[in-house]
Amino acid sequence: MSRGVTRRRVLAGAAAAAATAALAPQLGCAPPARRRRAATPTEVRRVASACELCPNKCAVLAVVENGRVKKLDPNPLSPKSRGMLCARGNAAIKALYDPDRVKQPLIRAGARGEGKWRPVSWDEALDFTAERLHRIKEAHGPEAVLFSSTEGFQEEFFKNLGLAFGSPNILRHPTLCLASVNLAYSMTFGTVPSFDLLNARYVIMSGANRFESIITPDTMDLIEGAMNRKAKLVYLDPRFTVTAAKADEWYPIRPGTDLAFILALIHVIIEEQRYDKEFVATRCLGFDELAAHVQRYTPAWAAAETDIPAAAIVRIAREFADAAPRAVYYAGRRSSWYVNDFQMRRGQAILNAIVGNWDREGGVVPNSRIALGELLFLPWDDPTAERVDEIGTRFPLAAKGDGAFLQARENVLAGVPYPVKGWLVYKQDPMNALPDRGRTQRMIEAMDLVAVIDTQMSDTAHFADVVLPESMYLERTDPLHMLPGIWPVVVLRQQVVPPIYDTKPNLEIIQGLAKRLGLSEYFDYTIEEWIAEQAAELPVENPLEYLKQHGVYAPEGAPFYGKTLAPGYRFLTRSGKIELYSPRLAEVGHDPLPVYRPPTPIPAGSFRMVLGRKATHTHAATTNNVWLIEQTPTNHLWLHPEPAARLGIGDGDLVEVVSAVGAVRLPARVTPEIRPDCVFMLHGFGKKSPQLRLAHGNGACDADVLVTAWDAVSGNAAFHETVVTVRKVGKEDRRA
Amino acid sequence: MRERLGIKGKPRWALAIDARKCINCKACIVACKAENGVPLGKFRNRINEEHGGSYPHLRASFEPEQCHHCASPSCVRVCPTGASYQRDDGLVLVHANDCIGCGYCIIACPYDARYFNPETRVVDKCTMCVHRVDAGREPACAETCPSRVRLFGDLHDGEGSLRHTLDSRRSQVKKEQTGNHPQLYYLL
């Protein structure tokens, strides 16, 4: 990468020149510059669309020169992306023109995972897939096929294929992501709200690393709030992240003890009568039970659990209550940490409720929405079999339609309650997204068919039987999506350039399969018809034309607060009130008020592995993007200098990380920016798929060592329950 | 100073940088690469990182940097062919046709803002996205930034937001002692 003249080389050259008194410049003999003459005036188009490099859906304006996407500019019209485009959004060009893309349908030619493929026509690939699906259905029933996907604008078509096929086993991403926080807020407020960071004066965050894990508009609003409006940011994280660096106060909390901190805050606020009495009296259920419940959770007790001084807990509680309603305990996104995650998120929700920050400027605000039309299509019969993850009995409060991913994997491996023989995957990489990759691989091996729809050869695609290449986002038009929020917006992702390779948009892939499965009647529409119906009701003239031109539609004017504060408003909970105490939780055998349970202790000499994100990569999806790899070329094991010295590990040394389920090797980054009892590695590296040439074998894959655990209430994967040991295996510096 | 800063009544482009707001997300770097076709392994801008303190009293700061478009640019002075030049509006640029790739300017720059482009075989640098500026737009790095770290504007425009910011907030430039009169203003 550094074949050019570096500054150091030039300086060395200059020194040599001076020594020999030869003043001829060392590089002066370069031939006259071969100038790249710009081609005759180019045709330049600007097309509005919506980014898909992460789930934020930022509005972009693609600059197309002579049919090639040259630049992606931020579209200033979206109130959600606030006129910005991050490194990943800018690097989407390299994802589009990635030479490692899947360029046509592939059918496996060797053993699974051997990497031998036979390029085939779409007809052959779809015939193959449909024929296998049909065979599985005949032998085991439609429930023997699993349809798993991650969120995306065309996910709905995929899900619908599963349902029309007759399988109840639709598995979506939330139980690998934010199911616990969604459920905690739903159980408390009856809805999943947003956090008004643009107007908050006091923000507490537990591990939601908002400055490296970009969520729009929260990241931009928080930096604006913290830096320009002097909002106070209190941040808890075992790791010194960029958010920690920008926070007013950072506490390297003992991992897994956040609920102790939260309960102590509630304790102080109630004891000192700093809660919003009127709000609590008129809108909340179970305050007395809460007050009695938190009596034992004193700041002194919490200090011993969390490593946060009691005096700081008392002060933060007072400051937080005083700043309310412009004060929020921010929920975060990837809430999949511990087996009591739901209760920890409930604690946050309850704390927010008692200071009365609900639905007020600078507080926790229920989302506004914009109504979209819906294309009516022929309905299918609901699948008859029960779900393989038995979500109805195991997690009765969880969102049934999303499923419980890890429970599903365990049941499939055990063959209960029935055999599952087929697995269709859309836009998801379970080999990286799930803990314990070995078990995921065994699940793949148990299948008669694994078919993957993706834009690149993910690790899951690498182990599949057939790969159906989807067109990249700049090559296709997707359904409209309304993004709810304090500033809701409708975004259009429209085609910018035609597909470069023999790929298809997901809808066409689904229609191809549906046709062969005799399900065509359920998918007899085009993407244009779908969008036209969605857009029809938007309050602008020629809504579709408007969207094609502007890329987004957002209502004008200031956001609307207080719609749920009207007298007599019924919250969407059973009691119609904000449920501090939840009778529904008690009914199904869970704690109706959050009870603190300490995390499993870490044995001496071992470490807790914590996860986290960086702004340059999205999950495991972007580590083959050359512009992003330039910024974050590999991953390291973060290790505090104290244990590093004990273990004889120096910065850059190759270390082996061993857990109960696996071992990986990667270079150590010895840094004080992590607690001495924790280690961290960035997700998304150590790919098995050799077709991803920049990511393959680069660094280590966290899924190899993470153990399987989940939150008891929501079924959400618990990714911070892994204990590892670390040892030095070599001086090798993989960065060299 | 005024003379060095171009012609009265005409624009003098510059950037102010509010590094406190920088979250080290690298959007500016990747946007620049796309906008200007910067080759792999080369960069026209960067984010300087500084980490310090001892656990748990740590600190980290992030500071974007690129060509300072100095009022007295040493890179222009040392160029033997006149390839490096400065426009009236202050932008320091390179005539690719006249560059012989001698690299003097790379050494002369106190800010390490120039590099040799192995594809075009001439010296390359931040142009402040001159093609955008001339079309009335801001540079790509400023436009794409999630936290609005960079403020682009005209130092001569008394009504403009750049002048307003620099007149109302304290700022500093780097390595003033070089005599280059750098025009990349770091807000304090």
Q: A388 and A361 in one domain? A: no
- Can you tell me the ipTM of this complex? 0.96
Residue of B122, B140, B146 with shortest CB distance to A214: B146
According to DSSP, the β-strands at B150-154 and B114-117 are unpaired
Residues of B in contact with A74 (CB under 8 A): 143-144
Cα-flanking dihedrals φ and ψ of residue A633, to 5°?
-70, -30
Residue A28 is predicted with a pLDDT of 40
Residue carrying structure tokens 């909390």: A253
A91 contacts B30? CB cut-off 8 A: yes
Cα-flanking dihedrals φ and ψ of residue A180, to 5°?
-70, -40
Contact indicator for A350, A280 with CB cutoff of 8 Å: no
User: Does A34 have pLDDT greater than 70?
Assistant: no
How far apart CA A480 and CA A497 sit, in angstroms, is: 18
Cβ within 8 Å of residue A80, ≥6 positions away: A56, A57, A58, A59, A216, A217, A483, A485, A487, A489, A491, A554
Contact indicator for B14, B155 with CB cutoff of 8 Å: yes
Q: A393 and A300 in one domain? A: no
Residue A14 is predicted with a pLDDT of 38
Helix (H), strand (E) at residue A90: helix A87-90
User: Which residues partner with A7 through β-bridges?
Assistant: none
User: Does A47 have pLDDT greater than 80?
Assistant: yes
Residues of B in contact with A626 (CB under 8 A): 40
Span A70-87, average pLDDT: 97
Q: A203 and A349 in one domain? A: yes
- What is the tens place of the pLDDT at every residue in A141-187? 999 999 999 999 999 999 999 999 999 999 999 999 999 999 999 99
CA A675 to chain centre: 24
Chain B residue whose CA is closest to A253: B56
Residues of B in contact with A30 (CB under 8 A): 100-102, 121
A10 contacts B34? CB cut-off 8 A: no
Residues of A in contact with B34 (CB under 8 A): 70-72, 90-91, 93, 627
Q: Please tell me the number of Cα atoms within 13 Å of A170 on its side-chain side.
A: 21
Q: A383 and A309 in one domain? A: no
Residues of B in contact with A676 (CB under 8 A): 55
Chain B residue whose CA is closest to A613: B25
How far apart CA A652 and CA A734 sit, in angstroms, is: 8
Residue of B23, B80, B115 with shortest CB distance to A223: B23
B183 CA: distance to closest CA in chain A (Å): 22
How far apart CA B92 and CA A175 sit, in angstroms, is: 53
Q: What share of chain B is helix, strand, coil (3-state, %, to 5)?
A: 25, 25, 50
Q: Does domain B13-71+127-187 have CATH number 3.30.70.20?
A: yes
Span B32-57, average pLDDT: 98
User: Does A12 have pLDDT greater than 80?
Assistant: no
Smallest CA-to-CA distance from B115 within B54, B41, B7, B168 is with B41
Tell me, yes or no, whether A202 lies in a domain: yes
B41 contacts A4? CB cut-off 8 A: yes
How far apart CA A393 and CA A331 sit, in angstroms, is: 27
Mean pLDDT of chain A: 93
- Say how many domains are in chain A: 4
Mean pLDDT of chain B: 96
Boundary-marking domain end, from A365, A387, A421? A365
How far apart CA A518 and CA B15 sit, in angstroms, is: 62
Among A7, A63, A219, A237, most B C-beta atoms within 10 A, so best to mutate, is A7
Chain A residue whose CA is closest to B59: A245
Among A73, A97, A678, most B C-beta atoms within 10 A, so best to mutate, is A73
B100 CA: distance to closest CA in chain A (Å): 6
- What is the tens place of the pLDDT at every residue in A613-642? 999 999 999 999 999 999 999 999 999 999
Chain B residue whose CA is closest to A63: B35
B58 contacts A250? CB cut-off 8 A: yes
B165 CA: distance to closest CA in chain A (Å): 13
Residue of A5, A36, A240 with shortest CB distance to B58: A240
Residue of B27, B96, B104 with shortest CB distance to A85: B27
B104 contacts A25? CB cut-off 8 A: yes
Residue A39 is predicted with a pLDDT of 53
- What is the tens place of the pLDDT at every residue in A89-117? 999 999 999 999 999 999 999 999 999 99
Span B113-130, average pLDDT: 97
How far apart CA B94 and CA B126 sit, in angstroms, is: 10
Span A526-542, average pLDDT: 96
User: Does A442 have pLDDT greater than 60?
Assistant: yes
Span A368-386, average pLDDT: 93
Residue A26 is predicted with a pLDDT of 39
B24 contacts A242? CB cut-off 8 A: yes
pTM of the model: 0.93
Q: A360 and A376 in one domain? A: no
Residue carrying structure tokens 């694994």: A450
Residue A558 is predicted with a pLDDT of 87
Q: A305 and A344 in one domain? A: yes
Q: A516 and A376 in one domain? A: yes
The CATH number given to whatever domain includes residue A238 is 3.40.228.10
Tell me, yes or no, whether A532 lies in a domain: no
User: Does A1 have pLDDT greater than 60?
Assistant: no
For A703, the token pair is 């899924």
Boundary-marking domain end, from A365, A391, A416? A365
A640 contacts B115? CB cut-off 8 A: no
Q: What are the CB-based long-range contacts (under 8 Å, 24+) for A563-572?
A: A563/A359, A563/A366, A564/A358, A564/A359, A564/A366, A565/A358, A565/A359, A565/A360, A571/A189, A571/A190, A571/A191, A571/A283, A572/A186, A572/A190, A572/A191
User: Does A732 have pLDDT greater than 60?
Assistant: no
Confidence tier at B9 by pLDDT (50, 70, 90):
confident
Residues of B in contact with A2 (CB under 8 A): 41
Domain of A6? Answer: 1-31
CA angle A74, A80, A84 (to 5 degrees): 25
Q: A388 and A354 in one domain? A: no
How far apart CA A119 and CA A109 sit, in angstroms, is: 9
Q: A328 and A252 in one domain? A: yes
- Tell me if residue A165 falls in helix, strand or coil: helix
Confidence tier at A37 by pLDDT (50, 70, 90):
low
Among B17, B22, B25, B137, most A C-beta atoms within 10 A, so best to mutate, is B25
Q: A129 and A255 in one domain? A: no
Residue of A5, A25, A628 with shortest CB distance to B116: A5
- What is the tens place of the pLDDT at every residue in A645-658? 999 999 999 999 99
B54 contacts A223? CB cut-off 8 A: no
Smallest CA-to-CA distance from A376 within A531, A533, A595 is with A533
Q: A517 and A433 in one domain? A: yes
Residue of B23, B103, B148 with shortest CB distance to A5: B103
Residue A336 is predicted with a pLDDT of 86
Q: A722 and A648 in one domain? A: yes
Confidence tier at A40 by pLDDT (50, 70, 90):
low
B145 CA: distance to closest CA in chain A (Å): 6
Contact indicator for B89, B97 with CB cutoff of 8 Å: no
Q: Please tell me the number of Cα atoms within 13 Å of A90 on its side-chain side.
A: 30
Residue A60 is predicted with a pLDDT of 98
B42 contacts A227? CB cut-off 8 A: no
A616 contacts B55? CB cut-off 8 A: no
The CATH number given to whatever domain includes residue A461 is 3.40.50.740
Residue A18 is predicted with a pLDDT of 37
Residues of B in contact with A34 (CB under 8 A): 120-121
How far apart CA A332 and CA A567 sit, in angstroms, is: 30
